[in-house]
Amino acid sequence: MVARVTNAAELAGMRAAGQAAASVLDMIGEYVTPGVTTQRLNELCHQYIVDELKCIPAPLNYGGGGGQKPFPRSICTSVNHVVCHGIPTDGKTLKATDVLNIDITVIKEGYHGDTSKMFSLGEPTILAKRLMQVTQECLYKGMEAVRVGARLGDIGYAIQKHAEAQRFTVVREFCGHGIGKVFHDAPQVLHYGHAGSGILLEEGMTFTIEPMINAGKRHIKILPDQWTAVTKDHKMSAQWEHTLMVTDQGCEIFTLRKEESFASVKTA
């Protein structure tokens, strides 16, 4: 069974959770400045999620079992060559040359909203700026491929084609996922693949698209903390993510932020 919305109550729940998650990224932006620690960003987000939004931070204590440690923080902070699942710490002070992905997932009245955004601490290098822009374009191109009657592989194909045309690479060890009352549900949404392959997209399906794009080679490794994924060649990585639902018009983006208008940012 794949994650899907089946009635008006579920749709309202997903919309509320998505907008709650988006609001955390809107809130935290002013605090992403040189000299701040990733743990301080985690504390600010945790307080906002719990006290202001009355939600639950889904990553906190997520996982575990099979010898893996539960994730110890409320958000993921992935800096520079960290691909995903970076753990906030007091020891990581951000510099003006850094770029950062903040990944937010909240649970609101049982429903999950999952989204991430790239931030630059100062004026990014030409490469960093280009990588962040292309990665966001990959997300948008993936979303443009979503429609009733399309195939799951159409999403991955659109993302891979755009990334590789810009001489970047697509991380293959992680993917988007079905989402609803379950954090990580079916289907798995690969960010590479072949057009016309995979399951048929049907109205009401809910999932994330979250491409991770590398400036160097696509290969990654997991650090001893069992969570942090980094590029093997230490080249920069970027990621953007939205939670969405398949509609008869294309898709509804539950986590669209105030600064965004999907219709106005579609790429050529």
pLDDT digits (tens, 9 = 90+) for 87-99: 999 999 999 999 9
Do the bridges between strand 176-178 and strand 169-170 make them parallel or antiparallel, or are there none, so unpaired? Answer: unpaired
Homologous superfamily of 8-264: Creatinase/methionine aminopeptidase superfamily (3.90.230.10)
Residue 184 predicted with pLDDT over 50:
yes
Query: For 68-79, b where at least 16 C-beta lie within 10 A, e where not — what string?
Result: eeebbbbbbbbb
pLDDT reading at 79 higher than 80: yes
Q: Whose CA is closest to 174, among 252, 241, 77?
A: 241
Residue 263 is predicted with a pLDDT of 53
Domain ranges of the chain: 8-264
Note the pTM of the prediction, 2 decimals: 0.95
How far apart are alpha carbons 201 and 174 in whole angstroms? 20
Average confidence (pLDDT) over 131-146: 97
Q: Taking residues 114-122, what's their average pLDDT?
A: 97
pLDDT at 268: 31
Annotate 109-134 with b (16+ C-beta within 10 A) or e (fewer). Answer: eebbbbbbbbbbbeebeeebebbbeb
3-state secondary structure of 8: helix
Q: If DSSP codes are grouped into helix, strand and coil, which group holds residue 135? A: helix
Averaged over 224-234, what is the pLDDT?
Answer: 97
Average pLDDT over residues 93-122: 98
Q: Which amino acid is at 163?
A: A
